[in-house]
Amino acid sequence: MTKKTMKETTMDLRLSGKTAVVTGGSKGIGLAVVRELAAEGMRVHAVARTAIPETAELGDGVTTVELDLTAPSAARQLAERVGAVDVLVNNLGGVADSSMAAGGFLDIDDAAWQYTYELNLFATVRVTRALLPGLLDRRGTVINVSSIGARAAFQPVDYGTAKAALTNLSKALAEEFGPRGLRALTVSPGPTRTQNWGAADGYAARLARAAGEELEEFLARVPERMGITTGRLTEPEETAALIAFLASPRAGNLTGADYLADGGVIKTV
């Protein structure tokens, strides 16, 4: 099949020429989203605390913005730099090291709770508030990347509760600003083949050590242990493709919903 034929058979998401901001855009799902949106012809501002590696192959139309979004003034700085945008993907998030190492609820102190909420909720609140006027002008879309931890009582508890609040935020934004043209949605990934699940110092590696197993052995057993229906971890590019579709006019009447990207971990309807 020629490149021309392949292009002709690809669904046009009608995103070309639009502008997006992707937070946490330097690795994992965020980086995959940056690439996917750029491939659809969008101008993408990839925001991260650390520089994106030159080897990342971001494609045309990508601008990198180095900002620590947990800083109170960062959202205002971001808004001043990028101006009005059509799509905001709030992907910033993560698990505090101390929470990851905790044995349970009683081991997670106030500092860890505060950090977790700053990273997974408050930074997103500030960024969304700062960019909302432009999103409303453009009848734009906000997509918050939550987690299946928002729906099930996985450890650590501080991370799951912060993500549950983020999911609630999406619904609240959809309800309040839907009449003005804004769409707000949530995507909730399950175990995804990112550094968190593959690196020697990641979340899965800690779980493997606690279980007395080698990382590769542990990862091979994750689908069975977590009840992943498809029998494998999700690839970042798969979640990025879902986010691109939800951001597009093709999904123009979808709002207020939470889309699972977990391979079937969550069993409830």
159 as an active site residue: the answer is yes
Please state at what angle helix 123-137 crosses helix 74-82, rounded to 10 degrees. Answer: 30
- Tokens 């909420």, residue located: 117
Contact (CB, 8 A) for 118 and 70: yes
How big is the CA angle at 30 (ends 155 and 133), to the nearest 5 degrees? 105
Q: Running DSSP on this structure, what letter comes out for residue 103?
A: S
Burial class, 201, CB count within 10 angstroms (exposed 0-12 / middle 13-18 / buried 19+)? exposed
Which of the residues 117, 159, 203, 259 is marked catalytic? 159
Phi, psi of 90 (to 5 degrees): -85, 90
Measured CA to CA in angstroms, residue 28 lies from 5, 34, 168, 182, 231 at distances of 30, 10, 24, 27, 20
Q: Which residues are catalytic?
A: 159
